[in-house]
Amino acid sequence: MELKQYNLFFLYQETVALTKRLFIQLKRRPSTLLAGILQPIIWLFLFGALFSKAPEGFLPGVNSYGNFLGAGLIVFTAFSGALNSGLPLMFDREFGFLNRLLVAPLASRLSIVLSSFFYITILSFVQSIVIMIVSFVLGYGWPEFYGLGIVFATLILLVLFVTSVSLCLAFVLPGHIELIALIFVINLPLLFASTALAPISFMPSWLGWLASLNPLTFAIEPIRVAYTQTMNLDIVALHAPYGDLTCKSCISILFSLTVFSLIIIRPLLNRKLN
Amino acid sequence: MNYIQIKDLSKSYSDIQALKDLSIEINAGTLFGILGPNGAGKSTLIKILATLVEPDGGEVFVNNINLIKNPRKIRELIGYVAQDIALDKILTGRELLDFQSDLYHMNKKEKYERIKLLINQLEMNDWIDRKCGTYSGGMKRRIDLASGLLHLPKVLILDEPTVGLDIESRNIIWELLKDLKNDGMTIILSSHYLDEIDKLADSLVIIDDGKVIAQGTPAQLKNKLGGDRITLKVREFSTHEEAKKISEILSSINGISQIIINKSQGYSINFVVDKEKDLLTKLKVELAFSKFEIFSLAQSQPSLDDVYLQATGKTLLDAEISMTGKRDLKKESKQSMR
């Protein structure tokens, strides 16, 4: 029992140290943080302007395209950040710093993964909050208190899901070039094949199917409801080709995907880290 | 007392057998040297001891703890200084040591005292608060060594720690290693520098092609060679036939032994002469009788390089050169990545 308590404290100590290291890196090289904020803000301005003269009622349930776009860009910001979360680990692998961690008597090597989760969750939250504030300033709305809770809960699930995939890729791929290439390939197509920029009703049937199966869509739609309506988990958030999905259903699917991804990556992490 | 026992250790990377049934015993509180050319298997052995690589076969015990079954317990006992220095360029040296001490679960007081002591011992005061990315090779090595020593390990494992270092940094490290050994720490030092192992090691093993070719104290190994070592050349670059003829002449002289033709040094002849006998005059006469002139003749006390030469027929330097072309460092680096 005493040993277990010690282990828990040690796990805490090493996780804090590993997370602190990532934040020191961020503080001294803030370009990742700034780029992660600037890109969606530019999109918000450009796309908002692109459809600013669209006829009224062009998009059902929203008063402007910016109001529609906000949810998509918040999710995209969190998604991009989480997708890149494997990069620091990949660099540690390549430059041998990971060996420094592996020769230490860590209470659990889970701390290496946990620190990445904490870091990227906090980073994504900071970036998303900035996007939310900019959207608000541009007149694209702000969710009410309960809706805000749903926004953050959804973002946590998405970040956990994508971070676990990215960490998995960081161990499976041979180097950072391959990881960056894959991130390039995944990033924008997933955005365009989701409901971030347009509703399913605007899409051809095949793209509608793709978008309604895209994990990003399950995160975007509850957040969009939080932005455009009084939040209620039973509101239909997505009119998918296979049927209507409520906010609750979208979040449940996202939750299941997260749990599933964590289960899937566990043996790989065990193999690579033990 | 054998503090570390390595039994029949083997390891392969795809088609390359890096270690072949290697067995070594290391006493507590000694500095144990691992000598061998690049690609001999030193780093693989060191990585297994540091719990970074799992062997294919064999056993390792440190203080009677099975390394393969209880790697975490072993990690508490060891400090590891890798061949390739992996520092976080963004952190300062002090931040790196602080980070490292948290990984070893040290409390605040302990951490503060150890970091302060090591900064003084390794003379890092002037630059410890600069980012690691600005450090020279010597500074990097010193901070790396400090992080391996933070938790006062029972065993310190160093993989070629002085490669490419300036003399000042090398001396500081040598002095520190001597002090640590005197304090009772067991040190395993891999190197391809003969003088380093000769000066520092209490005992050593010479590895070639994944196998132990010699083991003992430096004095024991050198004494086994007998008398002084002679390197003889009758021309700057002889032929194999010529070298063979000279070898035959030498073998007929009583008191000359262990004759080796060193192909990579222009077919020079290396041999050992009995200390008690004055054989050089006789040698000159015999060579002149066969119409050979002495181009160069060097006499020296036996060195560890001679031990290596005796066992393999090539010098350590020649082995290094011949390995350089054969190794695929990129492939090896990928294989060693977790």
Residues B149, B232 share a domain: no
Indicate whether this complex's ipTM tops 0.90.
no
Binary contact (B76, A105; C-beta < 8 A): yes
Tens-binned pLDDT, residue by residue, of chain B (338 aa): 689 999 999 999 877 889 999 999 999 999 999 998 888 899 899 999 999 999 999 999 999 999 999 999 999 999 999 888 889 999 999 999 999 999 999 999 999 999 999 999 999 999 999 999 999 988 999 999 999 999 999 999 999 888 878 888 888 889 999 999 999 999 999 988 888 999 999 999 999 889 999 899 998 888 877 778 888 988 888 888 899 999 998 888 888 888 888 887 888 898 888 766 677 788 888 888 888 888 888 888 888 888 888 777 777 777 777 766 666 656 666 665 66
* Distance (Å) from the alpha carbon of B212 to chain A's nearest alpha carbon: 26
* Distance (Å) from the alpha carbon of A157 to chain B's nearest alpha carbon: 28
Tell me the longest C-alpha to C-alpha distance in chain A.
Answer: 68
Binary contact (A103, B50; C-beta < 8 A): yes
**Spatial separation of the C-alpha atoms in residues B71 and A105, rounded to whole Å:** 8
**Residues whose CB falls within 8 Å of the CB of residue B16, separated by 6 or more in sequence, listed in order:** none
Q: Which tokens in the block code for residue B169? A: 């940094």
Nearest to B90 among A24, A103, A107 (CB): A24
Which residues numbered 80-99 in A keep a CB inside 8 Å of some CB on B?
93-99
- Give the number of domains in chain B: 2
| End residue of a domain, out of B217, B250, B268 | B217
Residues B293, B252 share a domain: yes
Does residue B88 sit within a domain? yes
Residues B199, B256 share a domain: no
Rg (CA), chain B: 23
State the residue range of the domain holding B147. Answer: 2-217
**Spatial separation of the C-alpha atoms in residues A231 and A149, rounded to whole Å:** 10
Q: What are phi and psi of A135, to 5 degrees?
A: -60, -40
| End residue of a domain, out of B217, B240, B264 | B217
CA quadruple B183, B185, B191, B195: dihedral positive or negative?
positive
Residue B115: which CATH number? 3.40.50.300
Does residue B134 sit within a domain? yes
Which residues numbered 4-23 in A keep a CB inside 8 Å of some CB on B?
10, 13-14, 16-17, 20-21
What residues in B contact A25, CB-CB < 8 Å? 88, 90-91
Residues B148, B287 share a domain: no
Residues B119, B54 share a domain: yes
Strand order in the sheet with B186-191: B78-81, B155-159, B186-191, B31-35, B203-208, B211-216
Tell me the longest C-alpha to C-alpha distance in chain B.
Answer: 79
3-state secondary structure of B145: helix
Does residue B58 sit within a domain? yes
Does residue B9 sit within a domain? yes
Binary contact (B84, A96; C-beta < 8 A): yes
What residues in B contact A11, CB-CB < 8 Å? none
Nearest to B52 among A10, A95, A99 (CB): A99
Binary contact (B338, A98; C-beta < 8 A): yes
State the residue range of the domain holding A236. Answer: 2-273
Task: Report CA dihedral (A236, A240, A245, A247) to the nearest 10 degrees.
Answer: -70
| End residue of a domain, out of B155, B189, B217 | B217
Residues B244, B110 share a domain: no
Residue B276: which CATH number? 3.30.70.100
Does residue B326 sit within a domain? no
- Give the number of domains in chain A: 1
Q: What are phi and psi of B78, to 5 degrees?
A: -110, 150
* Distance (Å) from the alpha carbon of A119 to chain B's nearest alpha carbon: 16
Q: Which tokens in the block code for residue A173? A: 């791929």
**Residue of chain B minimizing CA distance to A111:** B103
What residues in A contact B102, CB-CB < 8 Å? 13-14, 16-17
Q: Is residue A271 within 8 angstroms of chain B, CB to CB?
A: no
pLDDT-derived band at A2 (thresholds 50, 70, 90) equals: very low
Which residues numbered 26-65 in A keep a CB inside 8 Å of some CB on B?
28-29
What one-letter code names the amino acid at B58?
Answer: G
